Amino acid sequence: MKQLFIGLDVHKKSWAVTIQEGQLVLKRFSMEADAGLLIAYVSKHYPKHEVECCYEACCLGFGIYHELTKVGWQVVVVNPADIPRGNKQSTTKTDKVDSAYLAKQLAAGHLKAIYVPTHKQEQFRSLFRRRNDLVKNLRRIKCHIKSMLLYFGTSIPLQYDNINWSKDFIQWLHKQHWSYTPATETLKSRLSEYQFLRKEYLHICNELRAYARKQYRKEYYLLRSIPGVGPFIAIGLLAEVGDIRRFRGIDKLSSYIGLVPSVRSSGEKSYTCGITYRSKGLLRSYLIEAAWIAAKKDPVLMQYYQERKGADHKKLIIKLAAKTLSRIYHVIKTGEPYQLTPQPATV
């Protein structure tokens, strides 16, 4: 059976399409952003062809992938950074050129697909990321309130001046008044925003915990058995990574999350350029946070830390995070909870 290769340059309202058979370009056109219209066009004009299609990962998510795979098409979603590009693609960039180049690279077998999450994982991930948005918004409004107090010369009592805001502190804030109404109303408005965000944050946290315990009960409690892995680090792993078993080894998982160095070598010279910039940034920061806690609770990690205490502090915590990730991979692959190993007795 003949095979078609279709390159799509997708946007919110329109798509640029290139249809290619082998090395021969059959058709180039622009169309309305609708997977159904593309499927109908190909079915009408090329009814006896197998179809392989590709597009770049973007803000449109994976809806196009799911629509096209429903009718039996092979769909490749590509990280834009992984597409081999020449000078021509950098200097002459149009939707038409991009779609043609994608079709050409697809036909040549040069494109590597990224992992496409299931609907279940995607929607779980959206709730996890909503929590992170709320954390940032809470941090922002706290800074605004403290900045306002500082600007108007109001000192915060020492017992309240920390990152954890108690009910007493909130009551103290409500009692603050200035000589004119606008400043008092400004603080009142910001406190209302803070209380709304706080309520939303607690609600989302409860929903996340309840969902993880119900839908991923086994994996959730396996991850919680590891020192340093709290509820939301476990939830983050389940939401962002999905099925950890799909990785063939810990090196693949470490690379996916971004706990590997960038390496450059030429001739006899080889050097690292720090930790890779390609990462699951939010999850990597969570794992680094988990490593600090794990080092205090796990005797083996504590010994590892003590033996290298004089080393580069940043590199050391990355290594501890990598070791924590190795434990995570092990408990999920084996299905057995993590068991603490007693620290070897010193002679």
pLDDT tens digits along 116-146:
999 999 999 999 999 999 999 999 999 999 9
The answer on 225 and 208 residing in a single domain is no
Q: Residue 322 sits in which domain range?
A: 220-334
From 183, 215, 247, give the residue that closes a domain.
215
- pLDDT reported for residue 346: 52
The answer on 130 and 75 residing in a single domain is no
* pLDDT interval class at 314 (50, 70, 90): confident
Whether residue 345 is contained in a domain is answered as no
Whether residue 340 is contained in a domain is answered as no
Whether residue 339 is contained in a domain is answered as no
Q: What is the mean pLDDT of residues 51-78?
A: 95
Q: What is the mean pLDDT of residues 138-167?
A: 94
The answer on 245 and 317 residing in a single domain is yes
| Per-residue pLDDT tens over the stretch 32-42 | 999 999 999 99
- pLDDT reported for residue 86: 77
| Per-residue pLDDT tens over the stretch 65-116 | 999 999 999 999 999 989 988 777 777 788 999 999 999 999 999 999 999 9
- pLDDT more than 90, % of the chain: 76
- pLDDT reported for residue 274: 78
Helix H, strand E, coil C: the string for the chain is CEEEEEEEEECCCEEEEEEEECCEEEEEEEEECCHHHHHHHHHHHCCCEEEEEEEECCCCCCHHHHHHHHCCCEEEEECHHHCCCCHHHHHCCCHHHHHHHHHHHHHHCCCCECCCCCHHHHHHHHHHHHHHHHHHHHHHHHHHHHHHHHHCCCCCCHHHCCCCCCHHHHHHHHCCCCCCHHHHHHHHHHHHHHHHHHHHHHHHHHHHHHHHHHHCHHHHHHHHCCCCCCHHHHHHHHHHCCCHHHCCCHHHHHHHHCCCEEEEEECCEEEEEEECCCCCHHHHHHHHHHHHHHHHHCHHHHHHHHHCCCCCHHHHHHHHHHHHHHHHHHHHHHCCCCCCCCCCCCC
Average pLDDT, the chain: 91
From 108, 140, 172, give the residue that closes a domain.
108
Total domains in the fold of the chain: 3
Whether residue 83 is contained in a domain is answered as yes
Q: What is the mean pLDDT of residues 149-178?
A: 94
The answer on 98 and 64 residing in a single domain is yes
Whether residue 341 is contained in a domain is answered as no
From 199, 215, 231, give the residue that closes a domain.
215
| Per-residue pLDDT tens over the stretch 321-342 | 999 999 999 999 999 999 887 6
Q: What is the mean pLDDT of residues 276-292?
A: 90
- pLDDT reported for residue 85: 82
pLDDT surpasses 80 at 345:
no
